[in-house]
């Protein structure tokens, strides 16, 4: 009896000592395998995605990124790989019902990403005559570029996405930024363009500029090319300095003036006056002219011009006045610019209720035609 008691006591002491030493396997208790990192802790020069795993099937992993110690009740349950773009200490534990939890493992990952190279512009900022095509690039492969033209700073989530060369046609400040996943965003590159125009240069709408008044104001008037003098005769509803003709691809090959017998007030002949004529004609006729019920009558065709290069200048085009049409002939046609046809073109200047002025681009002479006739139309704009 004493021997049995002594053996039982020894076994009890042995079990107690084994439990203190953590030898769960000797007691038949299984331990969850420690979590394993997919990447070796250390320094990386680009962002990484770290996966966690354990050799114990069915075990749950919890981890922390705030240096706190994870447990069966604390930390984020691991479900998807962990993306790292900066230095982080990952601590993880694995556990399973009926098992002893794993040890807490940790790894310090330092991500020191390289910055995306700053954007550069194909031409420097400065003063230019005529619109300029500007390309933007970054030497970092596959970098994405965003830009602004309104003075605001671009960012990876704001600004226009750069895809092709920019047509800079107005004074502006161009700003650009480049970015790429796993890299530091570049600094903002910025430059300023001062754009002016002269006769024969390409304007904002993709057509030729054919007149420069010299100042931006609302004055309309006459211009004497022989003396180079400008005489004011009134004001228009828009401020302008330049006159630009629409590209030849948007020319009307045969349009009536419209409103035969209608006493519409469109008798302004001055430079800059075609806008007022056009607005008055459209206000009087509406969507279709009252004579032939056509929606593409000359003034409407110009005002609602579509397919031009810059969508932001739609509804700024108009049917040129008598003086503007003659200046088109003198400034562009005689210089071989604008792809005009040797034919008659409508002006917006009416002569009487049944007629309006045209310019014959074969001879350069002005005459008048019945409004129901069909002649060519080329829109212009003042800006």
Model confidence at 310, pLDDT cuts 50, 70, 90, reads very low
Mean pLDDT of 287-299: 91
Model confidence at 19, pLDDT cuts 50, 70, 90, reads very low
Q: Is 44 exposed, middle or buried (0-12, 13-18, 19+ CB in 10 A)?
A: middle
More confidently predicted of 313 and 90: 90
Kindly report, residue by residue over 119-142, the tens digit of the pLDDT.
Answer: 999 999 999 998 899 999 999 999
pLDDT > 90 fraction of the chain, expressed in percent and rounded: 72
Kindly report, residue by residue over 348-376, the tens digit of the pLDDT.
Answer: 999 888 999 999 999 999 999 999 999 99
Kindly report, residue by residue over 220-249, the tens digit of the pLDDT.
Answer: 998 887 788 889 899 988 899 999 999 999
Q: Does 4 score more than 50 pLDDT?
A: no
Kindly report, residue by residue over 169-208, the tens digit of the pLDDT.
Answer: 889 999 999 999 878 899 999 999 999 999 999 998 889 9
Domains of the chain: 31-111 (2.60.40.10), 120-196 (2.60.40), 209-382 (no CATH)
Q: Does 2 score more than 80 pLDDT?
A: no
Model confidence at 311, pLDDT cuts 50, 70, 90, reads very low
């Amino acid at each position: 009896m004493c021997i049995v008691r002594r053996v039982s006591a020894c076994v009890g002491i042995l079990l107690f000592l084994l439990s203190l030493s953590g030898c769960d396997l000797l007691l038949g208790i299984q331990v969850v395998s420690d979590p394993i990192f997919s990447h070796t802790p250390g320094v990386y020069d680009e962002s990484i995605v770290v996966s966690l795993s354990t050799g114990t099937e069915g075990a749950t992993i919890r981890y922390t990124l705030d240096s706190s110690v994870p447990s069966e009740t604390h930390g984020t349950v691991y479900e998807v790989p962990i993306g790292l773009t900066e230095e982080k200490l990952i601590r993880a534990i694995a556990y399973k019902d009926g098992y002893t939890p794993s040890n807490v493992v940790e790894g310090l990952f330092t991500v020191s990403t390289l910055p995306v190279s700053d954007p550069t512009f194909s031409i420097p900022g400065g003063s230019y005559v005529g619109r300029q095509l500007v390309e933007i690039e970054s030497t970092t492969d596959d970098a994405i570029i965003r830009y602004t033209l309104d003075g605001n700073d671009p960012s990876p989530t704001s600004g226009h996405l750069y895809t092709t060369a920019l047509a800079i046609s107005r004074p502006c400040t161009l700003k650009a930024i480049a970015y790429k996943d796993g890299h530091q965003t570049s600094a903002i590159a910025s430059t300023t363009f001062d754009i002016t125009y002269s006769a024969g240069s390409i304007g904002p709408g993709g057509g030729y500029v054919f007149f420069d008044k010299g100042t931006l104001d609302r004055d309309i008037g006459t211009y004497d090319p022989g003396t180079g003098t400008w005489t004011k005769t009134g004001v228009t509803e828009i401020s302008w300095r330049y006159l630009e003709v629409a590209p030849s691809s948007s020319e009307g090959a045969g349009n009536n003036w419209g409103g035969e017998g209608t006493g519409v007030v469109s008798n302004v002949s001055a430079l800059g006056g075609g806008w007022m004529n056009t607005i008055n004609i459209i206000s009087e006729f509406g969507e279709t002219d009252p004579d032939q019920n056509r929606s593409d009558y000359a003034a409407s065709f110009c005002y609602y011009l579509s397919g031009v290069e810059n969508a932001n200048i739609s509804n700024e085009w108009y049917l040129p006045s008598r003086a503007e049409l003659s200046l088109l002939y003198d400034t562009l046609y005689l210089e071989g610019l604008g792809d005009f046809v040797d034919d008659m073109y409508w002006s917006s200047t009416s002569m009487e209720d049944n007629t309006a002025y045209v310019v014959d681009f074969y001879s350069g002479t002005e005459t008048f035609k019945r409004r129901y006739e069909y002649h060519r139309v080329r829109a212009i704009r003042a800006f």
